[in-house]
Amino acid sequence: HNALGLSADELASVFREWNNGRLQSYLIEITSYVLAKHDDGARSSLVDAIEDEAEQKGTGRWTSQSALELGVPLTGITEAVFARMLSSQKAQRVRASNLLQGPGPTKATSALIDDIQEALYASKIVAYAQGFEHLAAGSKEHRWDLELGALATIWRGGCIIRAKFLDRIKEAYEETPDLPSLMLAPFFHKALADAQPAWRRVIKTAVDQGIPIPAFASSLAYYDGYRRARGPANLIQGLRDYFGAHTYHRTDREGAYHTRWAQGGEEVRTDS
């Protein structure tokens, strides 16, 4: 809002336009309605008079808890829950605003609006990919035998997450029923590749201006982590072995190993 220098009415127009394209969804639609609403008989927008403390009923928290129990990295929803919790710390935030230093927002170029549309689309793909991975893990754990493509069809109507590209999700699972991630489906991995430059520009702009965008940023971090054949968790596992003798597996031979760090550094196999 501040970085773009747009009023709530102008933002409402942006969301209305987005809702006429590939971002079409119930939540994009009602965002335009809320932004466009004015106080009765007043020129000021209602949203500017609403206190910035988001409440919650618990569904997001329960979803994140379930994902943790199932071992699914549900970063988007979890970051959204954390953002709500942070918003509820109003008194602390007011105090911190006068003490903690950081860059201030400046008006961005109009091209940023198009970039944000791309970033939102990419982050939305990641959110659905994580959500369907969560459902698949729950189905396996609890023997629900879910048909993920059919779920996408059900959500096309009467649900707050209904969206235009649910048809694409249905098609992806019809083509590959055991698809491990929606991001690997041809339509979605091409869409992510196309959106990637704008996605990165939006996050960089937000960081430079000190604007928190946890859902966008965590979605990109998940994407970058998922596409790496080898990440940094080898160091984590080495540290776990050092302080807790949790063992590790090697890339060059089978088995589980432990290094006797405090006893001369000898490596021993623990599963033989």
- On whether the CB atoms of residues 189 and 179 are closer than 8 A, the answer is no
How many domains is the chain partitioned into structurally? Answer: 2
**pLDDT of 4 higher than 60:** yes
Which pLDDT belongs to residue 204?
96
Which pLDDT belongs to residue 40?
80
Q: What is the CATH number of the domain that holds 259?
A: 1.20.5
Report if residue 98 sits inside a domain: yes
Report if residue 24 sits inside a domain: no
Q: What is the CATH number of the domain that holds 127?
A: 1.10.1040.10
Which pLDDT belongs to residue 30?
95
Q: Residue 162 — very low, low, confident or very high, per pLDDT cuts 50/70/90?
A: low
Encode pLDDT of 166-208 as tens digits: 888 999 999 999 999 999 999 999 999 999 999 999 999 999 9
Alpha-carbon torsion (160, 117, 120, 179), positive or negative: positive
Which pLDDT belongs to residue 194?
97
Let me know whether 66 and 181 are in one domain. Answer: yes
Q: Which amino acid, 132?
A: F
The pTM assigned to this predicted structure is 0.92
Give the torsion through C-alpha atoms of 129, 133, 134, 136, to 10 deg.
140
- On whether the CB atoms of residues 215 and 123 are closer than 8 A, the answer is yes
Report if residue 217 sits inside a domain: yes
Task: Quote the domain boundaries for residue 264.
Answer: 236-269
- Burial status of residue 38 (CB atoms within 10 A of its CB: 0-12, 13-18, 19 or more): middle
Let me know whether 59 and 130 are in one domain. Answer: yes
Encode pLDDT of 221-266 as tens digits: 999 999 999 999 999 999 999 999 999 999 999 999 999 999 999 9
Let me know whether 217 and 247 are in one domain. Answer: no
CA 112-115-117 angle, to 5 degrees, is 115
Which stretches of the chain are DSSP H helices? 8-18, 26-36, 59-70, 75-87, 90-97, 111-142, 148-154, 166-175, 186-209, 214-226, 233-244
Give me the chain's average pLDDT, please.
92
Let me know whether 97 and 57 are in one domain. Answer: yes
**Cα gap 105→93, rounded to integer Å:** 17
The helix-helix angle for 111-142 and 8-18 (nearest 10°) equals 60
Which pLDDT belongs to residue 161?
66
